[in-house]
Amino acid sequence: MSYREKIQYWFPVFLWILFIFWMSTSMFSAQNTYLFFEPLMRFIVPSISRKEIIFFHLIFRKLAHITEYFISGLLLFRAFSNGSNKRREWRWAISSLLIIVIIATSDEFHQSFVSTRTASLVDVGIDIFGGFLAQGIGLFMFKWRQQQKEKKFVV
């Protein structure tokens, strides 16, 4: 595999990891995202209570964790597979999930040093869940593509 092809597969992974760590700054603390989220919710649902806004804000933030790490998982699976046709999909998925664990743990560790953020093992679990979902999708898509290629050869 050429250097250019490696960059094609791994550069998006590194950009996304940088994005995750940027999202861990004080700019995206719960207090700051609430300042955006509350007016939006009041616009969409004028009769919403403060307690409901806080609840939906929490849900929104946890879904953001799942989404961030779901995308990470897909990018990692893609990078490990390198466009290969070899049947090593379980190795790619496990390697991707191990990196997700490292990223999630280091992200929360980083947040422990940011005064407006808190580190949480629950968030690490939520992050890993997002990465785990991505590996399921990655495995499914790889197997589906393999079946489609096999059908082309049969016809």
In tens, the pLDDT along 32-59 reads 999 999 999 999 999 999 999 999 999 9
Cα separation, 42 vs 49, whole angstroms = 9
Q: Shortest CA distance to 62 belongs to which of 22, 99, 94, 30? A: 30
**pLDDT reading at 145 higher than 80:** yes
**Predicted confidence (pLDDT) per residue in 127-140, tens digit:** 999 999 999 999 99
How many domains would you assign to the chain? 1
- Give the residue numbers spanning the domain of 146: 3-154
